[in-house]
Amino acid sequence: MVNEVEAVDLVKEFDGLVAVNKISLTIEKGEIFGLLGPNGAGKTTTIKMLITLLKPTSGKAMVAGLDVVTQQDQVRRKIGYVPQESALDIRLTASENLEFFAELYGLPKQDIKPRIQQVLELVELDRRKDDLVAHFSGGMKRRLELARGLLPTPEVLFLDEPTLGLDPQTRRIVWEFIHRLQKEWNLTILATTHYLEEAEHEMDRVAIIDKGRIMTMGKPDDLKSDFGNDLVELTIKGNESSLNEELKSKLLASDLGNTLSIHERAVRVAVADGKRALPLILHKIESLGAEIESISVRSPSLDDVFIKYTGRGIREEGEGGEDTADTRKQVAKIIGKMGRRV
């Protein structure tokens, strides 16, 4: 297998603030690779380094076999990019938007029209090509941007939050298009997302990224099975919103396995076989003097993997707590810095 994207110890600092901290990853040809993480985790910064918009502070990265620092121009000819925020001229028609970029990508004049037709057909917008983008829906705009990413016949397509701000149905449709493109063009795709279900269902492999570091990486199923097959979730009775420290430390010290995690009054344990493990777990917990309020056994989700590696749920961000306040500050700072750069 050929590695289409390869990053080794990538670091990006903005005035001493570390946005990306020694990220290493490899993406094989034809893979859909997901960077999963909360806002401000360093996903966009990583992509921007890979598409030559930001120079890494240190480390090395190759895209399509080319160095992103020393061979910028060649890299730019091999990649398509769909940015996080919609970047379309709403006063121009769909085909005029594409025409502009076809010219910037340096396509031969006689190829421009047929290529625009081709990519618009792929995203099923060919019948709207002479309509102003101002009249497009969010999903159509996203599809048009996907089409634009395909203009240079890229080897690697970078999608930064391709479904951000879209409703669930439209997200589904956009992903269908992404899969179709991937198959028909044998594309390698690097997409960022903070939707867990997308990472779980749409990506071949994911890397969970938090605070600029890759916490873990692998196929969604493998990541989940590291957990064991079943996840036992118990809620401990109590008046307080979270468990007292004494009980917490007792639980963590018990031999229920290193997958045990506690969040507020919920205790999660991953096990190989839920049905068999349940009596033992109940016994252990009751012997510690805790009363159980409710209990459930289910298969682990990527959310559980995420919580295991980052210590919090991906959606909890913004709900308070020291970590999240930190993250938000970091986001604001990085966005400010990046805005000023251009």
Partner 1 sequence: MLRGTRAVWKREMRKWRRNKVQLISSLLLPVLFLIVVGNAYSGTFSNIPVAVINLDSQTPGQVYGQVLRNSTALTIVATNISVQDATMMINDGRIFGFILIPANFSRSFLYPFPGGVAPSESTRINVTVDNTNMMVSQALQAIAAQALNQTLRDPSVASWYYNKTNRTMPTTGSYITNVDMYSSGYNFMDFLAPGILAMTVLFTSLFAAGMPIILDREIGYFDMLLSTPVNRTEIVLGFTLAGVSKVVAQATFVLVIAIFVGVHMALDILTILYIYVLVILLSLGFVGISIALSVKIEITAFQFVNGLINFPVFFLSGAFYPAQSLPDWLRAVVLVNPMTYAVDGLRAVMIKGTSLVNVLPDVIIVGVFALLTQLLGNLALYMSLSGKKIRVRKRRINNKNKDVAKNQEAPVTLEKQGGSSSESEAPHETESPTT
CB count within 10 Å of CB 291 equals: 9
Distance CA 225, CA 223 (A): 6
163, β-bridge pairs: none
Q: Binding residue for partner 1 (CB under 8 A) from 8, 104, 280, 332?
A: 104
Q: CB of 68: closest distance to partner 1 in angstroms?
A: 12
339 binding partner 1? (CB under 8 A): yes
Polymer length in residues for the chain: 342
- Name the nearest CA neighbour of 132 among 91, 88, 86, 87: 91
Amino acid making up residue 191: A
Q: CB of 340: closest distance to partner 1 in angstroms?
A: 8
Q: With respect to partner 1, which residue has the nearer C-beta, 27 or 236?
A: 27
Q: With respect to partner 1, which residue has the nearer C-beta, 69 or 282?
A: 69
Q: CB of 58: closest distance to partner 1 in angstroms?
A: 15
Alpha carbon separation from 270 to 196, 215, 228, 300, 312 (Å, rounded) = 19, 19, 6, 8, 16
Q: With respect to partner 1, which residue has the nearer C-beta, 37 or 152?
A: 152
Q: Which residues of 82-105 are buried (b: 16+ CB within 10 A; e: fewer)?
A: bbeebebeeeebbbebbbebbeeb
Q: With respect to partner 1, which residue has the nearer C-beta, 5 or 314?
A: 5
Q: Binding residue for partner 1 (CB under 8 A) from 105, 118, 247, 261?
A: 105
Q: With respect to partner 1, which residue has the nearer C-beta, 84 or 225?
A: 84
DSSP for 147-173, written as a single string:
HHHHTT--SEEEEESTTTT--HHHHHH
135 binding partner 1? (CB under 8 A): no
Give, as ranges, the residues between 26 and 65 that touch partner 1 (CB under 8 A): 48, 51-55
Residues that contact partner 1, how many (by CB under 8 A): 33
Q: With respect to partner 1, which residue has the nearer C-beta, 73 or 245?
A: 73
Q: CB of 85: closest distance to partner 1 in angstroms?
A: 4
11 binding partner 1? (CB under 8 A): no
Structure-token match 């919580």, residue found: 307
Given phi > 0 = left and psi -120 to 50 = alpha, else beta, which region is 40?
Answer: left
Residues 6+ apart with CB under 8 A from 147: 98, 119, 120, 122, 123, 125
Candidates 17-25, 29-37, 208-216, 334-342; binding stretch for partner 1 (CB under 8 A):
334-342
Q: CB of 51: closest distance to partner 1 in angstroms?
A: 5
Give, as ranges, the residues between 66 and 95 that touch partner 1 (CB under 8 A): 73, 76-77, 79, 81, 83-87, 89, 91-92
322 binding partner 1? (CB under 8 A): no
Q: With respect to partner 1, which residue has the nearer C-beta, 76 or 213?
A: 76
Q: With respect to partner 1, which residue has the nearer C-beta, 41 or 157?
A: 157
Residues 6+ apart with CB under 8 A from 20: 10, 11, 12, 42, 45, 46, 49, 56, 212
- Summarize as ranges the residues that interact with partner 1 (CB under 8 A): 15, 48, 51-55, 73, 76-77, 79, 81, 83-87, 89, 91-92, 96, 100-101, 103-106, 132, 152, 339-342
